[in-house]
Structure 1
Amino acid sequence: MNVKFWEKAPQEKSPKKKKSFAREWGDAILFAVVAASLIRWATFEAYTIPTPSMEKSLLVGDFLFVSKLHYGPRTPMTPLQVPLTHQTIWGTNIPSYSDAIQLMPHRLPGFSEVKRFDVVVFNYPPESQHPADLRTNYIKRAIGLPGDSLAVKDMQVYINGKAIENPAGMQYKYLLVPKTQLSQKFFQDRNINLNDLYTYDNGYAVDASPELAAEMAKLDFMKDVILMKDLPGKGDPQVFPHVPSMYDWNKDNFGALYIPKEGATVAITPKTLPLYEKVILGYEHNDDAAVRDGKLFIDGKEVNQYTFKQNYYFMMGDNRHNSLDSRFWGFVPEDHIVGKAVMIWMSTNPEGTFLDRIRWSRIFKSIE
């Protein structure tokens, strides 16, 4: 072959070096971790129900798919984290993250906003020992939306002065007073959670729907079935805002309470400050905010009004007398919202035997 002097002669390519077995597996594992992390962050994530606060809508042992697409995925706030972990490294108590770098949260566009009655997964706001995006995941129903005025009167929730529809299967605490001792089978046959059953005042305190309570009251061997509710005017210091001398609220008689909305302004007075102090100091990312002598100071200056920087929500469990929710710790900031629970993909009964451990009727059931 004739080659002109200004042309390079063709060179033979050296054979590509084959990856070692360990390198191939390492690349495959790295790709799988990155792909799983992206899917978990941006689309769907699996969760389990550990407590009965949402019974009977959701049961202990339900495994859920939670959609990040509905409300839009959050950008990471804590970037220095071991992939596919939450607070600790699997099987240990070793923290899986460093909070040396904390980023401001942003939310990518979703195809829906949080709607009333949505079942929502969120980071537990009062848990200050972890960064906001790594706080314990809670699941409740969104009852109050930004800008709403919420009140609970004799266990009934009112939004903007109107009673709302109660979730199907909603439960309260009842005292069963039988004529004779009840067996474990009595409670199992009625699908009553044994883990939250306890003896009280010559009876049994149980979580049950009003319909089930009415059925049990008709039994010949039942003396009485008493609804264990709080009375109006009896302030509970465990209930938000934890000032019973000023707000005599309890879990069954609460509010009225305005739920902050982005851009809305409220007056800051000795009466309103307990309601919004935690929001302003803890969730609004104010660098220099403090409360001194019952007054709010921002950047060293006393303020008598405040404009909210983000939306807030009021969450409640369907098991109204066995739910640690917004009645006890206040509002859920929008940047704490994780996603919407959309489907039960598996359900196991912790109290079931080997043969009836799986709740087949709940598999691939949509969540309402």
Structure 2
Amino acid sequence: MNWKFFSNKSDVNKKKKTKKREWFDAIVFAVIAATIIRVFFIEAYTIPSGSMEKSLLIGDYLFVSKVNYGARIPMTPIAFPFAHHTMPITGTKAYWDGVQWKYRRLPGLSDIKRNDVVVFNLPVGDTVALENQEPSYYNLVRELGWKTVNSQYTITSRPVDKRENIIKRCIGISGDIVSMKDGIVSVNGKIEPLKNTGQMPYKIQLKIPDVNFDVFKDLGFTVNEMEQIDANNYVANATPKMIDELKSFDFIKSVSLVVKPETVADGDLFPLDPNRKWNVDNFGPVKIPSMGWTVQLDSNTMPLYYRAIRTYEGNKVEKKGGAWYINDKPATTYTFKMNYYWMMGDNRHNSTDSRYWGFVPEDHIVGKALFIWMSWDKDASFFHKVRWNRLLRGIN
């Protein structure tokens, strides 16, 4: 009996896939699946600098959750898979910015909380053209050494979601009032001590110059980075826990925090306002904008919120005859459209953070750092390159 009589003609006429076609289909499926996971669920991240020491070390490899705060819909949708902004070999752009979508985010498991460790896009580097502004407001565009062209300050930058990914700790959330005095942060008037995994510089005075520095090494000090002032005095970065343990040794005479006095101003700090004598250890108070909050626009508030209103929220902002204009209309107040955050590194004297570039808008948020899946010490010997004690460690 001819069983082919009962077969489906479409099955008979269907050509069998070649091995090349099977491989091609498998690769396409894998790329699409991996891209969906990377964009909407979880992404790998590497710690490139020491700004979060000792919470996170150079060479730590993390997983960053997109689900916790809600995955951000790609704002630059046409891009090469797995490349953030630059092609690995050619060095050319890995995206096409001819198509730009407005900011949207899927629902998340939670909002950003104080002390969360957050990955976000670097909030500096935007295109600007300011004309006929008072000299103090030109300072707002000095952050990356912007070029001067015909009395205008301009810079070309990447789209928001294609800027560098960086990682810091969220010190303040929307609506908080943040300040810092003598190296100690306060949020809403309450002192927030530095995490025991964060570090600050301390002046260490010894009773005798001849001590065994292996003691310092055992406590976690990086001995070769300790700065010697004289025979008995050193400056070293340390966590509060390390300092508490160090004080118990009988060869220690005194230990004191090294901070800048309030009278010394750092000229390159947010908000680049000559009337605010702020430095890395003393600043504020400053209120973090929240969605729906209305601020009065005057000479005191505009240096703080000018950049957020103009750059992050996309308004045309001008000053004419002593009055402020937003989108060509006189304005005495402004209501914010987004939530903002204040981010700082745990390595307080070795971190470029919100003290330098101010608020981080919600559309720059990438995700929450979850845990370390690998830690690699490039300076260690071959058999000690992997920091085994850091593997699968949660981040808090």
- TM-score normalized by the length of structure 2: 0.82
Task: Find the counterpart in structure 2 of residue 6 from structure 1.
Answer: none
Contact 2:226 2:237 in 1 (8 A): no
Instruction: Verify: 1:74 aligned to 2:72, yes or no.
Output: yes
Query: Equivalent residue of 2:37, what SS?
Result: helix
Moved more, 304-313 or 221-230: 221-230
- The offset of 1:213, in angstroms, is 3.9
Amino acid at match of 2:22: E
Task: Find the counterpart in structure 2 of residue 139 from structure 1.
Answer: 167
- The offset of 1:322, in angstroms, is 1.2
Within 5 Å, give how 1:212-227 maps onto structure 2. 212-213=242-243, 227=257
Q: Deviations over 1:237-259 (max 9, x none)?
A: 1221122x311111111100010
Q: 1:134 to 1:269 in 2, by over 3 A?
A: same
Task: Find the counterpart in structure 1 of residue 91 from structure 2.
Answer: 93
Contact 2:194 2:240 in 1 (8 A): no
Contact 2:196 2:240 in 1 (8 A): no
Task: Find the counterpart in structure 1 of residue 317 from structure 2.
Answer: 289
Q: 1:18 to 1:349 in 2, by over 3 A?
A: same
Within 5 Å, give how 1:1-368 maps onto structure 2. 12-13=9-10, 14-128=12-126, 129-175=157-203, 189-193=218-222, 197=225, 199=227, 201-202=229-230, 205-213=235-243, 227-243=257-273, 245-286=274-315, 288-291=316-319, 295-368=323-396
- The offset of 1:170, in angstroms, is 2.0
Contact 1:236 1:242 in 2 (8 A): no
Q: Structure 1 regions of 5+ residues with no counterpart? A: 1-8
Q: Structure 2 regions of 5+ residues with no counterpart? A: 1-5, 127-156
Q: 1:267 to 1:12 in 2, by over 3 A?
A: closer
Contact 2:196 2:241 in 1 (8 A): no
Alignment partners' CA distance in 1, 2:320 and 2:228:
43
Query: Equivalent residue of 2:54, what SS?
Result: coil
Query: Equivalent residue of 1:355, what SS?
Result: helix
- The offset of 1:201, in angstroms, is 4.7
More helix by share: 2
Q: Deviations over 1:60-110 (max 9, x none)?
A: 111111110011001111112111110101234211012122110100101
Task: Find the counterpart in structure 2 of residue 4 from structure 1.
Answer: none
Task: Find the counterpart in structure 1 of residue 129 from structure 2.
Answer: none
Alignment partners' CA distance in 1, 2:185 and 2:166:
21
Q: Deviations over 1:250-296 (max 9, x none)?
A: 1111100010000000011011110001101110022x333567753
Alignment partners' CA distance in 2, 1:78 and 1:296:
32
Alignment partners' CA distance in 2, 1:184 and 1:135:
42
Alignment partners' CA distance in 2, 1:302 and 1:335:
27
- The offset of 1:143, in angstroms, is 1.0
The percent identity for this pair of structures is 45
Query: Equivalent residue of 2:98, what SS?
Result: coil
Alignment partners' CA distance in 2, 1:366 and 1:182:
36
Alignment partners' CA distance in 1, 2:283 and 2:348:
13
Q: 1:10 to 1:109 in 2, by over 3 A?
A: closer
Amino acid at match of 1:130: R
Q: 1:222 to 1:18 in 2, by over 3 A?
A: same
Alignment partners' CA distance in 2, 1:11 and 1:155:
78
Contact 1:267 1:304 in 2 (8 A): yes
Query: Equivalent residue of 2:259, what SS?
Result: coil
Q: 1:66 to 1:266 in 2, by over 3 A?
A: same
State the superposition RMSD in angstroms.
2.8
Q: 1:293 to 1:142 in 2, by over 3 A?
A: farther
Q: Deviations over 1:329-359 (max 9, x none)?
A: 1000001011111111111223321222111
Alignment partners' CA distance in 2, 1:363 and 1:147:
36
- The offset of 1:301, in angstroms, is 2.3
Alignment partners' CA distance in 1, 2:192 and 2:257:
21
